[in-house]
Amino acid sequence: MTQSQPVTPYSLMGGEPAILSLVDRFYFYMDTLPEASEVRSLHQTDLSSAKSKLFKFLSGWLGGPDLFAQEYGHPRLKQRHFPFKVTEQGSKEWMLCMNKALYEVAMPDELRKNIKQALQDLATHMINTD
């Protein structure tokens, strides 16, 4: 008898390939959209480390393998972002890139809506300036 895998956002999106695609498209937009210049300026020239960390975080956050925690411990996102000046504008730019990327990954519309709202809440929570 085999135990069935739980249905998670990670599995509904298509697992690792879909998350890798989402992260790739997200950073493509961050790197190329002039209207994302503030959030892009917070990142290193080489985005490979940021891509890897976001992929690992999203994997666990969406119900897949908890790769980020395995490598770095608890995400503590707010604390990890303290060294960066995260403004309301930067948060909006981050969501602009993420929203564009989310529409390039096949998933049920209701799931996309829920993920967008959860990420919006998270992006707002990261703001650490007045």
User: For residue 2, is pLDDT > 70?
Assistant: no
Q: Do residues 10 and 62 lie in contact, with contact meaning Cβ atoms separated by under 8 Å?
A: yes
pTM: 0.90
pLDDT digits (tens, 9 = 90+) for 21-65: 999 999 999 999 999 999 999 999 999 999 999 999 999 999 999
Q: Do residues 25 and 36 lie in contact, with contact meaning Cβ atoms separated by under 8 Å?
A: no
User: For residue 99, is pLDDT > 50?
Assistant: yes
Dihedral of alpha carbons 58, 61, 66, 70, sign: positive
Q: What is the number of other CB atoms lying within 10 angstroms of the CB of residue 33?
A: 15
User: For residue 71, is pLDDT > 90?
Assistant: no
User: What percentage of the chain has pLDDT greater than the value 90?
Assistant: 79
